[in-house]
Structure 1
């Protein structure tokens, strides 16, 4: 049976992606939905993008744009490299592209430009990197940057009283728009959890691969998940986005 698998933030960790693909026994029959932040962190950002480009030729893939991807796309398009980006993993991305030809850079830029801001599947499940603030859903979002940056959606779910049911008038209306919502962006490590975390009808798949955590992949139907080793063990000579 064809699976739908959702993958959390990778942040340049190709070794982790290859490892978790093997552990989940990913095949060409699986539909893969990536939640963004493919780059900025570990040393293999450019190799991750090349890997994903080649992967998309072999099977169905949906690539959501994250805030780090938006930064990298802007750098590739205009050469703009703000300090806030460079200090948050951008430097490693720039270095990973140091020996790329102009032709290959154009191919990678085209890949970034084709990413989606969000995706809704046949079962009314939303896949988005960060979140949205509009009560009418992401399609009515005033600020498109919220797709990549919003944390209020997740913070709302985390703060909710578990006793509040979907039938209650107190249940947040913007959560009721979708059967389930899958996000990345805010590491579950922030609340002391190392595995994918469910709050209300939101599943957070960012398990901190940019920092000390692992990369996670989940079957959206069964909620079975697989994880890589923690990224610092896979890149022992690097710091990722961990700075002194």
Structure 2
């Protein structure tokens, strides 16, 4: 962390370029700041190509690969607005980024496994732990690992804030907010998009047990 003046971790953008530009205006990162995205830059929103172009244009912007990027690589989904160069760039993205005691992945980690046992699908898709119960726990409610994990993937009414886990997908594409975290200060900054791109049933949003107030 000492290599950067500030570090920001940004939740799922999903092609919402205008919201991302608004958030970056609020954060005002310089070339000496690191901006890390939790993946799912693409799909569902109106301008996936614009989001990719913006992130690719900044050498101090990095991202992990989310499940929606993975769907493009596996041919499960397609986006006409992306060209072969965009897909090659996506294919080279890591599934995890880490520094010091911090880990950034798209969906989370499985507390029942060591990190080295995780598959790409684990990092990109885990949400609830299939323990056979009627309402299985979310992975972050059971996780007690040494690394603090920043993640997206699960649309949240407000950021999840745990000692060892921070959830940042606050449903921008569904009319929620686009949220960033400053890990050094545990400070959250959110912007609200100017429109709802996709309707999502409110029951699909997860309400964390403990919430924070974003600036």
The interval holding the TM-score normalised by the smaller chain is 0.7 to 0.9
TM-score normalized with structure 1 length: 0.71
The 5 Å alignment of 1:178-189 reads 178=147, 180-189=148-157
1:146 aligns with 2:149: no
1:240 aligns with 2:190: no
Consecutive unaligned residues in structure 1, runs of 5 or more? 82-89, 98-104, 159-171
Query: 1:10·1:37 contact (CA, 8 Å) conserved in 2?
Result: yes
Aligned residues: 191
Moved over 4 A (4+): none
The aligned residue for residue 225 of structure 1 is: 188
Consecutive unaligned residues in structure 2, runs of 5 or more? 130-136, 202-215
Query: 2:37·2:63 contact (CA, 8 Å) conserved in 1?
Result: yes
The aligned residue for residue 170 of structure 2 is: 207
1:107 aligns with 2:85: yes
Q: 1:73 to 1:5 in 2, by over 3 A?
A: same
1:28 aligns with 2:31: yes
TM-score normalized with structure 2 length: 0.80
C-alpha distance in 2, partners of 1:121/1:243? 34
The structure in which a higher percent of residues are helix is: 1
Instruction: Give RMSD over aligned pairs.
Output: 2.2
Q: How far did residue 74 of structure 1 move?
A: 2.7
Larger radius of gyration: 1
Query: 1:157·1:200 contact (CA, 8 Å) conserved in 2?
Result: no
C-alpha distance in 2, partners of 1:206/1:133? 18
The aligned residue for residue 145 of structure 2 is: 176
